[in-house]
Amino acid sequence: MSTVLNKPEAQADDAVLAVVAAAISAVQHDTGYGSIEITIHDGRVTQIERREKVRFDQQVKAKK
């Protein structure tokens, strides 16, 4: 059985998807890697967190 969304619900879903797509695009353009956590309350996006790890290639110098 399929569920047909009425117009306001479909518009709300489209708005949520647009926000999610924008967050993903920002990560792709800024760093190309990372994670995104999206918090939704009552069907509305209330918070988006972007995380990025910065790792350094440290070479240990041998003691003489």
pLDDT tens for residues 18-35? Answer: 888 988 888 788 876 778
Tens digit of each residue's pLDDT (9 = 90 or more) over 34-62? 788 889 888 778 898 888 877 788 777 77
Residue 1 predicted with pLDDT over 60:
no
Residue type at 7 in one-letter notation = K
pLDDT at 61: 73
DSSP H/E element including 30: helix 7-30
pTM, to two decimals: 0.53
- 36 near 27, Cβ under 8 Å? yes
